[in-house]
């Protein structure tokens, strides 16, 4: 850490751009350590705002309001990457922003992200930039089918993407992109999806939470378990790649690297998330330091915490569908005394909306996954 760098100590106010569940859990970790938390987003009574010290509502495009918000805190971070780069720049005029707006700029746009990773020698799925139907058809001829066509920006949780099974589907797929910039990705036959949540401090120290195994339904994360069921060589490689990505980008904060794990311990980077990640939610209950406390430590210039996994763990998302028969049967699930419930304070349980999650700890990741799935099944009437 340079002599000129001044840590942000407990008692200070931390600003969060965004106000969803990631900000909520960050605020809980920060307030436990004696910090005050201010959140800025377009809405009121948000998941973060419910537990923050101050909730400011305003559009991200109101750069004067953003700068005023940042002037009231000592450091600014964000809880999702779809904050406009201009917003981060406006905040940076009044307070340090960590991770930096440059990291945000790269990771919020799929083409910039994949281009950056490929140019710096990181393993990525084969891809092509697509800005017209002709480019899409040429890309399919090169990459083959099936393939995935994704919007270049503002996509998450499986949104903004379509699978193309054959060349005849190209026109319809391009129409779904509404003429916007897109990226075409080759379909890879992977054994499992894994992620590494890591943190990098101002002094360059990097720590991670090991390799987490993820299972998706409809493009949305359903279950995560740790440790992942991968070989020691695959685990070592994933952690080394994640460390190199954080160092290359100069991240100060938390970043998640999502991988496809192919046969033969081959790893391909799928996406980056420059913030705590859904797959890391289990760290709240299962690790010495959670990913949210680690984000706080990193952006404030504190020493990073230990990431030891206290026991194997699993996390299951609670989506709006869990409410389809009425209020979930909370008592039935909580009869399993070793299961932890986390709800995000959202009042409208729409289908596909993340409302909360359950975590279970056990003697193995598989046993924890069975336990958390049993708890979730008890919720349905």
Give one DSSP letter per residue of 109-165, joined into a string.
BHHHHHHHHHHTT--B--EEEESSHHHHHHHHHHH-SSEEEEESBS--TTTTEEEE-
CA angle 99, 102, 106 (to 5 degrees): 105
The tokens 């596909």 sit on which residue?
Answer: 352
Phi, psi of 43 (to 5 degrees): -115, 165
Domains belonging to the chain, first-starting first, are 13-97 (3.40.50.20), 126-186 (3.30.1490.20), 192-379 (3.30.470.20)
Q: Give the span between the Cα atoms of 250 and 261, in whole angstroms.
A: 25
Geometric angle at alpha carbon 79, from 239 and 353, rounded to 5°? 100
CA distances from 31 to 24, 34, 51 (A): 11, 5, 9
β partners of residue 223: 215, 316
CA distance 180 to 362: 46
Handedness of CA 274, 275, 278, 280 (dihedral sign): positive
Sequence-ordered list of residues with C-beta below 8 angstroms from that of 62, at least 6 positions apart, any chain: none
Token representation of residue 154: 């503002």
pLDDT, residue 160, reads 78
Mean pLDDT for back-to-back runs of 10 residues, the chain (381 residues): 75 97 98 98 97 97 98 96 90 96 92 96 96 95 95 69 94 87 94 98 97 94 98 98 98 98 97 96 98 98 98 98 94 96 96 96 97 97 69
Q: Beta strand pairing status for 182-186 and 354-361?
A: unpaired
Phi-psi region of 253 (alpha: psi -120 to 50; beta: other; left: phi over 0): left
Count of CB atoms within 10 A of residue 367's CB?
15
Nearest to 277 by CA among 193, 341, 345: 193
CA angle 254, 80, 246 (to 5 degrees): 30
Euclidean distance between CA atoms 58 and 175, whole angstroms = 33
Region of 352 please: left (phi>0), alpha (psi -120 to 50) or beta: left
Residue 239's CB is within 10 A of a number of other CB atoms, namely 19
Name the one residue in this structure whose structure tokens are 């409809």.
Answer: 218
Report how far Cα 361 is from the mean position of its chain's Cα atoms.
22
First to last CA, the chain: 54
Contact 90, 70 (CB under 8 A): yes
Q: Are strands 13-17 and 75-78 parallel, antiparallel or unpaired?
A: parallel
- List the one residue out of 89, 294, 264, 310 whose CA is nearest residue 201: 294
């Amino acid at each position: 850490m340079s002599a000129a760098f001044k840590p942000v100590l407990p008692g200070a106010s931390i600003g969060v751009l965004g106000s969803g569940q990631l900000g909520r859990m960050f605020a809980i970790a920060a307030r436990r350590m004696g910090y005050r938390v201010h959140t800025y987003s377009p809405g009121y009574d948000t998941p973060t705002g419910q537990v923050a010290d101050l909730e400011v509502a305003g559009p991200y495009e109101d750069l004067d309001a953003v700068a005023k918000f940042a002037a009231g805190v000592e450091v600014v971070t964000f809880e999702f990457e779809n904050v406009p780069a201009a917003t981060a720049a406006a905040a940076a005029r009044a307070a340090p922003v960590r991770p930096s707006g440059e990291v945000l700029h790269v990771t919020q746009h799929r083409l910039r992200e994949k281009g950056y990773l490929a140019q710096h020698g990181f393993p990525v799925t084969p891809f092509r930039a697509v800005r017209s139907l002709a480019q899409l058809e040429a890309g399919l001829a090169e990459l083959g089918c099936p393939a995935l066509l994704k919007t270049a920006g503002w996509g998450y949780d499986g949104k903004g993407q379509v699978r193309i099974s054959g060349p005849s589907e190209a026109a319809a797929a391009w129409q779904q992109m509404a003429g916007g910039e897109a990226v075409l990705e080759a379909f890879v036959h992977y054994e499992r999806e894994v992620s590494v949540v890591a943190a990098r401090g101002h002094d360059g120290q990097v720590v991670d939470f090991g390799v987490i195994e993820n299972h998706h339904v409809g493009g949305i994360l359903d279950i995560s378990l740790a440790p992942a069921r991968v070989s020691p060589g695959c685990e070592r490689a994933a952690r080394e790649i994640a460390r190199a990505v954080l160092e290359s980008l100069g991240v100060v904060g938390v970043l998640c690297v999502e991988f496809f794990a192919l046969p033969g311990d081959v790893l391909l980077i799928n996406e980056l998330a420059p913030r705590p990640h859904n797959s890391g939610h289990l760290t709240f209950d299962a690790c010495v330091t959670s990913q949210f406390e680690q984000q706080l430590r990193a952006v404030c210039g504190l020493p990073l915490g230990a990431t030891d996994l206290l026991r194997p763990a699993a996390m299951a998302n609670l989506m709006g569908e869990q409410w389809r028969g009425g209020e979930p049967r909370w008592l039935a699930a909580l009869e399993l005394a070793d299961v932890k419930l986390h709800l995000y304070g959202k009042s409208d349980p729409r289908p596909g909306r993340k409302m909360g999650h359950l975590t279970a700890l056990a003697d193995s990741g598989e046993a924890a996954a069975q336990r958390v799935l049993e708890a979730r099944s008890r919720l349905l009437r």
